[in-house]
C-alpha cells in the first residue's frame, strides 16, 4: 500500500507538505503541488476522503437534490446531472445525487448529518420549502431554477421568456397563425407552483397576445400517454390548429405519436415543436422532433460553479444567470398546409 511517506519521498518534500496538499489546510506553491500530484499519480496513491474530511472539516462532496418521485428522470435531467458532476470533478469536488422530495423533510435529515459541504437544488418551485430548510441549517446552496423572490440567492435558470419568444417567432415565420401550447399540468398539486410550468405558460400567453393569436393552452402531465390524450383533444376540439408547442419531453413524444395514430401527418398537416428537450429524446420520434434544445449542460455546470464559489469564498457567479433554449430544426415542423 502506498503511503504519504512514499509520496513525500518521491516528490522530495516533507510528509507535512503532502498532508497540506491532500487536506487543503495550508497554501502550497503551485510547483510543489504539481510535484506532489505527479508523485501520487506515478505511485498510484489514492486519497483517503474520510481522513481528508476530518482534517479539513469539509467533505469536498456536494449533493444535487432532485425530487425523483415527482419528476421523471429523462435525458434532459441526465444532462444537468452529468455536466454538474464533471464541473465538480474539475474543481476537486465529488457530486452525489439525492433523490429527495420537494417538501424539504428528507433534506432536513440529510444536511443535519454533515454528509456534504453544500447542495444544488433542481426542479425549483416558486415558493420552494427546501430553500428555508437550507437557510435554517446554514448549508451553502445554489439553485438551478428560481423562486419568486430570489433575495440574492445564487441561481441559474432557463430564460423562458426568450425561449418562448423564439419558438413562437419561428413558427410565425413559417406562416403558422393557429397555435396551441400543450403545457404542464398546473392542476396537479405537485406542480401548481412549479417554476418552469408557470413561467413558460405565462410567457406563451404574453407572446400569443402580442402576435394577435387566439390563446389556447392544454394542460398535460409529463407522460407519453398524456401527450397522446392531448393530441386527441386538440384534434377534436381545435381542428383548425396548424402548429403545437409542447412543454414536456415525454408528452411531446406522445403528442406526435398520437397525431400519427389519428391519421394526421406531421408536419404536412400539423407541426410539432418541443419547447424544452434534449437531442436524444428528439431522435426517439418519427419524424425527429424540432425542439428548443434545453441548456442542461450549461446550467448544470453553472449551478455547480455557483455553489463551489460560495464554498471557496470566491466572487459570486457573474451574469448571465439565465440561458435560453436554442432552436434545433428537425423533421416535425414545416409551413402550414395550403
Which part of the chain is CATH 3.40.50.2300?
Answer: 61-158+296-323, 160-294
Nearest CA to 243 among 226, 220, 264? 264
* Topology classification of domain 61-158+296-323: Rossmann fold (3.40.50)
**CA 293, chain centre distance (Å):** 12
**CB 160 within 8 Å of CB 203:** yes
Which residues of the chain are modeled with pLDDT < 70?
Answer: 24-25, 47-58
pTM listed for this prediction: 0.82
* Res 274: pLDDT: 97
Q: pLDDT tens-digit profile of 269-286?
A: 999 999 999 999 999 999
* Res 55: pLDDT: 46
Q: Residue 318 CB: number of other CB atoms within 10 A?
A: 7
d(CA 167, CA 326): 9
120 DSSP β-pair partners:
64, 142
Per the structure block, which three cell numbers stand in for 23? 487536506
Per-residue DSSP letters for 57-114? S---EEEEE--TTTS---HHHHHHHHHHHHHHHHTT-EEEEE---TTSHHHHHHHTTT
Per-residue DSSP letters for 138-162? T--EEEES--S--TT--EEEE-HHH
DSSP designation for 13: S
Nearest CA to 211 among 262, 256, 165? 165
Sign of CA dihedral 27, 33, 37, 39: negative
d(CA 308, CA 306): 6
d(CA 286, CA 300): 29
**CB 145 within 8 Å of CB 154:** no
DSSP helix/strand/coil, 179: strand
What is the SS3 assignment for 19-60? HHHHHCCCCCCHHHHHHHHHHHHHHCCCCCHHHHHHHHCCCC
Nearest CA to 245 among 268, 280, 220? 220
Architecture of the domain made up of 4-56: Orthogonal Bundle (1.10)
d(CA 203, CA 158): 12
Which part of the chain is CATH 1.10.260.40?
Answer: 4-56
Query: Which class is domain 160-294?
Result: alpha beta
Amino acid at each position: 500500500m502506498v503511503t504519504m511517506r512514499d509520496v513525500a519521498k518521491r516528490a522530495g518534500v516533507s510528509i507535512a507538505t503532502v498532508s497540506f496538499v491532500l487536506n487543503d489546510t495550508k497554501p502550497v506553491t503551485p510547483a510543489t503541488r504539481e510535484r506532489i500530484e505527479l508523485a501520487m499519480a506515478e505511485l498510484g496513491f489514492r486519497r483517503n476522503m474520510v481522513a481528508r474530511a476530518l482534517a479539513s472539516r469539509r467533505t469536498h462532496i456536494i449533493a444535487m437534490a432532485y425530487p425523483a418521485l415527482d419528476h421523471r428522470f429523462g435525458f434532459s435531467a441526465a444532462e444537468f446531472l452529468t455536466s454538474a458532476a464533471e464541473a465538480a470533478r474539475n474543481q476537486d469536488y465529488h457530486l452525489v445525487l439525492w433523490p429527495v422530495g420537494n417538501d424539504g423533510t428528507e433534506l432536513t435529515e440529510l444536511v443535519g448529518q454533515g454528509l456534504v459541504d453544500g447542495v444544488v437544488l433542481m426542479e425549483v418551485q416558486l415558493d420552494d420549502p427546501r430553500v428555508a430548510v437550507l437557510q435554517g441549517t446554514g448549508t451553502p446552496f445554489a439553485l438551478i431554477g428560481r423562486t419568486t423572490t430570489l433575495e440574492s440567492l445564487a441561481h441559474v435558470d432557463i430564460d423562458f421568456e426568450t425561449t418562448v419568444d423564439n419558438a413562437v417567432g419561428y413558427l410565425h415565420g413559417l406562416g403558422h397563425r393557429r397555435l396551441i401550447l400543450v403545457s404542464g399540468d398546473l392542476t396537479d398539486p405537485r406542480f401548481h407552483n412549479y417554476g418552469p410550468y408557470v413561467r413558460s405558460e405565462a410567457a406563451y400567453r404574453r407572446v400569443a397576445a402580442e402576435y394577435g393569436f387566439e390563446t389556447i393552452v392544454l394542460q398535460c402531465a409529463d407522460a407519453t400517454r398524456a401527450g397522446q390524450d392531448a393530441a386527441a383533444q386538440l384534434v377534436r376540439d381545435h381542428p383548425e390548429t396548424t402548429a403545437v408547442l409542447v412543454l414536456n419531453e415525454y408528452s411531446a413524444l406522445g403528442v406526435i405519436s398520437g397525431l400519427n395514430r389519428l391519421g394526421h401527418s406531421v408536419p404536412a398537416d400539423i407541426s410539432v415543436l418541443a419547447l424544452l428537450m434534449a437531442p436524444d429524446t428528439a431522435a426517439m420520434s418519427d419524424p425527429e422532433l424540432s425542439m428548443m434544445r434545453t441548456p442542461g449542460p450549461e446550467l448544470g455546470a453553472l449551478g455547480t460553479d455557483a455553489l463551489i464559489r460560495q464554498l471557496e469564498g470566491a466572487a459570486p457567479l457573474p451574469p448571465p444567470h439565465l440561458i435560453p433554449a436554442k432552436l434545433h430544426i428537425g423533421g416535425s415542423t414545416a409551413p402550414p398546409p395550403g
